[in-house]
Amino acid sequence: MLKNISKLINGDLLKILNDMGHGDTLVLADANFPAASQGTKVVYTPGADAVQMMDAILSLMPLDQYVDNPVQLMAVNPGDTYVPTIWDDFKASILKNNGETNIEFIDRFDFYDRAKKAYVVVSTGEERLYGCAILKKGVIK
């Protein structure tokens, strides 16, 4: 056991977070996201929702302060009337752990393209729709 590290962060994910460098990206994926087909490392955390994982990850990993939008969320598909309640929870976690941070909303297929270039996908058990985020790692000043 280690002190001050969430039980949601297993040893594999802790090593990956440590190995990531400035500018590397992490995809936080909901349960519907095609994690295995992205062609990158996948860490499965089916017992945690995406907000819990975001909070645990951002308690350890700084966001990139040198880019306009270090957080990208999957936007609602055109024509879909669903209003994602998870976005408010994501914003609260980001504010708590990183302060005011710009967020970009990108369409699903652009999100998939960016996910293929990510360092890792963290696949959660999140069942709320549009519970996917891309986080760009920054530096500790």
Residues in CB range of 141: below 8 A, 6 or more apart? none
For the cut 80, the answer to whether the pLDDT of residue 1 exceeds it is no
pTM of the predicted protein model? 0.96
Residue 111 · residue 32 · CB < 8 Å = no
Choosing from 12, 15, 19, 22, the catalytic residue is 22
For the question of residue 22 being annotated catalytic, the response is: yes
pLDDT tens for 90-117 read: 999 999 999 999 999 999 999 999 999 9
Q: Which domains does the chain have, with CATH numbers?
A: 11-33+42-136 (3.40.1650.10)
Burial of 57 (0-12, 13-18, 19+ CB in 10 A): buried
In this predicted structure, what is the pLDDT of residue 37? 94
Q: pLDDT digit string (tens) for 55-98?
A: 999 999 999 999 999 999 999 999 999 999 999 999 999 999 99
